[in-house]
Structure 1
Amino acid sequence: MLSTIINKIRLLFSTEKESYLCFYKMLGFYPKNLKYYKQALIHKSSTIIEDNGCVQNNERLEFLGDAVLDAVVADLLFYYFKDKKEGFLTNTRSKIVQRETLNRLAIEIGLDKHIVFSTKSYSHNNYMYGNAFEALIGAIYLDKGYGVCRKFIESRIIDQFLDLDRLAKTELNFKSKLIEWGQKYKYKISFELIEEIQDEQCNPIFQTEVLIEGLSGGTGVGYSKKESQQNASAKALDLLSGSTEFIEAIAHAKEELLKLVDSTFPISEEENEEVENQEEVSALSCSEVLPTHQADS
């Protein structure tokens, strides 16, 4: 309480009142050493070289913040999920500290509006906002210590923008999940690039369609082929978990393909029996419920 009063008094006489207020709105407290926080906003594309040769950008703070964030999130999850095992905790932490989540959190607190960067270097693929978020955590750690870092992440980030219980149930690797399902029930999964275009900043945008036994399971768009495949896979999983008709259509498509192959290339009685056994396994998928997934909160 006393430190808050002192900081407010100092603010009255500061030439950087606007910067202090900006960070206060974002963080919920007044910085002590404003230099750390300003450095956290400088992307490497706008690196400042001081008279003494020192390089000023947020890369070193990002390195520190990455380690601190991992420790704080692990700390919080350890006490929040008291009965969960190490694998569950590790998986849940990875969902919080992944670049996509950090990018979104940076936007939620308004950090993206204050990052200093060269427009030529901007790309949706480099997760600039998420990196700056980690740098901000590094700045808080240097300025205020671990305790304030922990409180900031818990009260200003997790409590306001993340539902831990929901996040823990979220399936991240949709493509892997879909491929595993296809392997289990002997269905062919393939991905086809539909088109590649560019956005206003000339960044490539990919659109991919996922095919299950030749039937469309959905399309996905992303700033990389991998991202577009993940988004397409997510839609396919949604369709599979909510539509028995689609699963039946897949089974029928496979059956028709097998008949076509059989008529074109006749097989022996022994080989035919093996195919029928595989069809019986595939048919079971129509009555089984796929695990559902949720998007990030």
Structure 2
Amino acid sequence: MLGFYPRDIRIYEQALLHKSVFVLSEQGHQMNNERLEFLGDAILDAIIADILYNYFENKEEGFLTNTRSKIVQREMLNKLAMKLGLDKHIKSSAHSSFHNTYNMYGNAFEALVGAIYIDQGYKQCKKFIEQRIIKPYIDLEQLSRKDVNFKSKLIEWCQKRKVEISFELIEQFFDNQSNSIFQTEVLIEGLSAGIGSGYSKKESQQHAAQMALKKIKKSHDFVVNIFEIKTQKEEIPLEQQPEIENSTEQEKADI
């Protein structure tokens, strides 16, 4: 799985220890993989940035950031963890909910990266990502062309047309398994464009952005309202604005 022999096997065991299992260290502290997950998250971001920077030599910062986000998003990390077989080695409570059970795979993957970094250093950690993750499981060229970041796409749409956009957290509650659920509303020129829910703020924002993009594509009246409000704010006569009906077809093509 790793491609090398660990120096300290205990840190790898901790990387696979979910917080739902109550285990104490020799000092009496509860042990789990959350600290390693925190470290691994940062190290993984740096390594993926390093790899993409050298692979896509002529691409700009926005492209590199967007491509990295596709690799380090939770769904991708969950899948990579399962491909590595981490799901068969994670120690967790049988009472964990499905959501936590699925997401713990990606969390364990990040914790494993943190463990490798501590045990072997940056160079070996990067080699692991390149040889054991990127090479067998990720086609960088194909992935870079796949547009899955709805939030980035929506922000780009708004910036191109110079309209205001904001993401507002409107509610946070718990499901029947006591998992936090976040609900976010995206506003364009103050108009509600979409509402999304998720088990993290980022996930809820992505879902809200996805709904907004669908609304822009399907509702001509909504796009008209956006530009009417923008016009009123700028105090520019509506007849001086570009014809909305014609531009709406381009909006659809962009999306």
Q: TM-score, normalised on structure 2?
A: 0.66
Deviation at residue 132 of structure 1 after TM alignment = 1.5
2:247 is the counterpart of 1:285: yes
1:131 is matched with 107
- Give distance in 1, aligned partners of 2:35 and 2:223: 54
Equivalent residue number for residue 153 of structure 1: 129
SS of the equivalent of 1:288 reads: helix
Q: 1:107 aligns with which of 74, 82, 85?
A: 82
Identity percentage of aligned residues: 53
Is the alpha carbon distance of 1:176 and 1:138 closer, same or farther for their aligned partners in structure 2, counting shifts above 3 Å? Answer: closer
Q: In 2, Cα distance between the equivalents of 1:225 and 1:91?
A: 18
**Deviation digits for residues 102-143 of structure 1 (CA, Å, limit 9, x no counterpart):** 233223323233322345565737943322211111222344
Q: 1:56 maps to what in 2?
A: 31
Question: Partner letter of residue 55 of structure 2?
Answer: Y
Once the two structures are TM-superposed, the CA of residue 28 in structure 1 deviates from its matched residue by 4.5
Equivalents in 2 of 1:82, 1:186: separation in Å? 32
1:193-232 matched pairs, under 5 angstroms = 201=177, 203=179, 222-223=198-199, 227-228=203-204, 230-231=206-207
Is the CA contact (8 Å cut-off) linking 2:66 and 2:149 kept in structure 1? Answer: no
Distance in 1 between the 2:69 and 2:165 partners?
30
Counterpart-to-counterpart distance in 1, 2:185 and 2:46? 39
Structure 2: which 5+ residue stretches go unaligned?
A: 230-234
1:158 shift after superposition: 1.6
- Shift in CA distance, 65/228, structure 1 to aligned 2, threshold 3 Å: closer
Q: Rate the CA distance shift 1:38–1:171 in 2: closer, same or farther, 3 A.
A: same
Q: Residue 116 of structure 2 aligns with which residue?
A: 140
Say if 1:71 and 1:82 are closer, same or farther in 2 by CA, change over 3 A.
Answer: same
Aligned equivalents of 2:87, 2:208: Cα separation in 1: 28
Whether 2:17 is the aligned partner of 1:37: answer: no
Contact 2:215 2:222 in 1 (8 A): no
Partner residue, 2:141: 165
Go from structure 1 to structure 2 and tell me whether the alpha carbon gap of 1:176 and 1:94 turns closer, same or farther (over 3 Å shift). closer
Alignment-derived partner of residue 46 in structure 1: 21
Establish whether residue 274 from structure 1 lines up as the match of residue 237 from structure 2.
yes
Size of the aligned set, in residue pairs, is 248
8 Å CA contact 2:224, 2:244 repeated in 1? no
Quickly say closer, same or farther: Cα 1:290–1:56, change in 2 above 3 A.
same
Residues 227 and 239 (structure 1 numbering): CA distance in 2 closer, same or farther, change over 3 Å? same
Return 5+ residue gaps in structure 1 as ranges.
1-23, 259-270
Q: What is the alpha-carbon distance in structure 2 between the residues aligned to residue 289 and residue 112 of structure 1? A: 43
Q: Which residue identity does 1:155 align to in structure 2? A: Q
**Which whole-Å CA distance do the structure 1 matches of 2:47 and 2:164 have between them?**
42
Larger radius of gyration: 1
State the alpha-carbon separation in 2 of the partners of residues 238 and 151 from structure 1. 40
The equivalent residue for 1:84 is: 59
150, 153, 175: which is aligned to 1:174? 150
Matched to 1:44, the amino acid is: K
Q: Which amino acid aligns with 1:274?
A: P
Residues 64 and 135, structure 1, Cα contact 8 Å, conserved in 2: yes
Q: CA deviation at 1:41?
A: 0.6
Matches within 5 A, 1:1-12: none
Per the TM alignment, residue 152 of structure 1 is displaced from its structure 2 partner at its CA by 1.9
CA distance, structure 2, for counterparts of residue 178 and residue 284 of structure 1: 20
Distance verdict in 2 for CA 1:290–1:152, change over 3 Å? farther
C-alpha RMSD of matched pairs (Å): 4.8
3-state SS, counterpart of residue 50 of structure 1 = coil
- Listed as ranges, the matches of 1:91-102 within 5 Å are 91-102=66-77
- Contact (CA 8 Å) 2:70, 2:149: kept in 1 or not? no
Query: Distance in 1 between the 2:180 and 2:32 partners?
Result: 27
